[in-house]
Structure 1
């Protein structure tokens, strides 16, 4: 390719990149023309194509792309002395064009969803922040709910990826009857190619935008898998941010007729709530933790041991970092930190908590 052709290509790609970037500053337009317009069709098509393969093709695509980039860098480094002057300009431009093209493809097949309005607005969920007392009320509610579901549970099945795909898709189909946001066609849930590697990195699952696949870490404890599968499917539906995927995953799994899905969803939300209470009201955290059934505590310990087994160094680092954070924020500093998912849970359940507003056996600070 001539130098002129490469420069023209760079100009075109850069222009498209700028247009896409500027489009992202108009969330309502992104929602109307992309997230609920063009995106559902392209994501459904990607899932249909990826579903033909019994393995995660997204992992292979990313491995090939990384290998290609490394090869080009190595080749350029080896030949740098013998390259002509024009080639020393063309090759870096070609690399630049490659990354611009990747950016454009990423934004078109999924990335523009980062610029859509918050999914909580679409679901009509408020954003009123809670007091510490209200947070503890929410924690008490989820402790009771999780305990009650655990008592009903008989045996957690050993989940295969096909079982998770089928049951999670059914749960989304039920939610679609309440809101079209949950529409999920051409289900495509895959096991990652190397659960051991993913476990070592500390990842439960991830979405592969270039292939449209939701990828699961199949090494996870079985009681965690239902919620994680619903969370990753939320990303397939164009929910980009983690807290928003948590919300959709929770609503879907908790409304499933499958008791194991309900428990998994409430167990996961309880973790987020207890984390917040532990930061803001350590005494209340201890009392609430003591209310948990031994079976629920056993699940906490099993999950903790799972991550300790695969990700010991990361586990130790995170534990130490959290202890340091608590010491730094022992008094008022940091009291205004919030997790969006906990705020949304409070806004969902505050009418119910107001009706059942009884004196809790806890000490709250305000």
Structure 2
């Protein structure tokens, strides 16, 4: 019994050492992201896609229940009662195994180079001229792409997303999908998830991605492509937004293309409100098709009716800490940084070479 315990502790220490070494040594992070993760992802996703439900959601739920009720069972119910010290040590050991599993299965992708490092596309600093040019071009494309999206063709979204990622993989620093038909799952606790305003998630423990069952048709394609980007090893929310935009807006399916343009509208307007004068912002806003403004307002009302401010604020606080603890220094603001990525990419594509900011 003691020998088995020692072996277990040794294995855990080795795994934790691998995690910490990979986080500290940049070359190991690159090796993991480029060579190790694709193998792990293919193996775990091949297993998880056999299940019709989100096993990662169930695993997290059961783990939380176990951590909460195991101390009561161990201390008061079972015949051979344990001391509190042993109970706490057991709980801590379980959390360390979860920690190691999370990072080895997916989380060490946080240690890879960022978008600019992977693609050698230089960062382009915001200037009024560059931002105005980007916004003008974006609004024109958004308006032209508008179509009334009333239903979701899930298999078509899957095929188009896989095709899109295969197209951009070699030039934009992202892996190809591990399967030709990656299986998306519906979140097990959709009503609760809607209360915190989350539309999708990446399940790192089994390399599966899930979508909120309440998603509206215009949101579905871009959210699908966003979460698929996470499955392909992308940890940054801004980068996942960028890749979803690239995949969707390149599609020949008009509903998917519109979803891509629509997905970054709030980030465009948020940046514009911060960088433009009130008159410039009002002029920009007035150029957006009224059908699109009406759609956005209906979407906002739909989600606000499901949203719980208290639970949402708690989730936002925790997720902000999580992102900052994993080298995403801007926390939840990282989502809006997609505009910087799009501007840098467009400037690089249009001019071939951009002198990066000093």
Question: Shorter-chain-normalised TM-score: which range?
Answer: 0.7 to 0.9
Q: Match for 2:200 among 205, 214, 230?
A: 205
Instruction: Please say which of residues 191-200 and 38-47 is displaced more in the overlay.
Output: 191-200
Q: Which residue of 2 aligns with 1:240?
A: 235
CA distance in 1, matches of 2:251, 2:140: 19
Q: Which residue of 2 aligns with 1:363?
A: none
Q: Does 1:303 align with 2:335?
A: no
Is the CA contact 1:220–1:306 (under 8 Å) kept in the aligned structure 2? no
SS of equivalent to 1:214: strand
Structure 2 residue runs without a partner (length 5+): 315-332, 353-358
Q: Match for 1:350 among 347, 351, 355?
A: 347
TM-superposed CA distance for 1:178, in Å, is: 4.9
Q: Which residue of 2 aligns with 1:13?
A: 12
Q: CA RMSD in A?
A: 3.0
Cα deviation code 1:271-295 (max 9, x no counterpart): 2121011123251222111110011
The change in CA–CA distance for 1:5 and 1:182 in structure 2 (over 3 A counts) is closer
SS of equivalent to 1:296: helix
User: How many residues of Structure 1 are paired with residues of Structure 2 in the alignment?
Assistant: 330
TM-superposed CA distance for 1:344, in Å, is: 1.2
Q: Which residue of 1 aligns with 2:164?
A: 171
CA distance in 2, matches of 1:209, 1:195: 18
User: TM-score, normalized by length of structure 2?
Assistant: 0.82
Is the CA contact 2:196–2:308 (under 8 Å) kept in the aligned structure 1? no
The change in CA–CA distance for 1:52 and 1:79 in structure 2 (over 3 A counts) is closer
CA distance in 2, matches of 1:177, 1:353: 19
CA distance in 1, matches of 2:7, 2:277: 61
Structure 1 residue runs without a partner (length 5+): 319-336, 356-366
Q: Match for 1:285 among 281, 286, 290?
A: 281
Q: Match for 1:134 among 130, 135, 156?
A: 130
Cα deviation code 1:185-240 (max 9, x no counterpart): 22121121232221112101000011211101131221111111000000001111
Q: Does 1:118 align with 2:114?
A: yes
Q: Which residue of 2 aligns with 1:106?
A: 102
The structure that has the greater radius of gyration is 1
Q: Which residue of 2 aligns with 1:274?
A: 269
SS of equivalent to 1:41: helix
User: TM-score, normalized by length of structure 1?
Assistant: 0.80
Q: Match for 2:225 among 222, 230, 242?
A: 230
Q: Does 1:194 align with 2:157?
A: no
CA distance in 2, matches of 1:139, 1:261: 21
